[in-house]
A = this chain, B = another copy of it.
Amino acid sequence: MARIGIADTTFARVNMADFAIEVIKKNSKHEIERYTVPGFKDLPVACLRLFEDYNCDIVMAFGMAGAAQIDRQCAHEASTALQNVELKVKKHIIEVFVHMTESEDDKEIFEIAKNRAEKHALNTLELLKDKTALTPYAGQGRRQGKEHEGPVKL
């Protein structure tokens, strides 16, 4: 049994963490530690604490980025720092970010967020198994938040 960290924000407009937690509970007996921060720039240090202070083996980080250029830049800063955390603790952070530019329709944003959270919860469970657990799907054009694209057709 492993411990899965769940870091999310009050800024996001969809409670993605709840969808992921449901999938994790349904498919495993892993323990869950949650940490909620104001915005995605507060996620990296939350993730670091989940790893070092709460002994998590892997963390899912949920965030939602607005449509303005400055939002994209902030997402970039958050993602860069999340990478730094991963390298510091040598463990995976599955970044589940939704960009408001992905759709202009609220309902569709909700569906993207839910689908991405659920599929990445399953990816998280696979990564906890073995480094080749996902190898059967290598290069298969898998997507989270929308339909799989599949491999290039020749």
A interface, CB within 8 angstroms of B: 8-18, 33-38, 41-42, 44-46, 48-49, 52-53, 62, 69-70, 72-81, 83-88, 90-92, 94-95, 99, 101, 106-107, 109-110, 113, 120, 123, 127, 131-135, 137-144, 149-154
B141 touches A45 (CB 8 A): no
Cβ contacts under 8 Å, A150 to chain B: 13
B10 touches A138 (CB 8 A): yes
Cβ contacts under 8 Å, A74 to chain B: 79
Q: Which residue of B lies closest to A65 (CB)?
A: B70
Contact A34 B135, CB 8 Å, known A83-B44, A142-B10: yes
CA distance A23 to B44 in the complex (A): 26
Task: Name the residue in A41, A73, A83, A143 with the highest tally of chain B Cβ atoms < 10 Å from its Cβ.
Answer: A83
Cβ contacts under 8 Å, A120 to chain B: 38
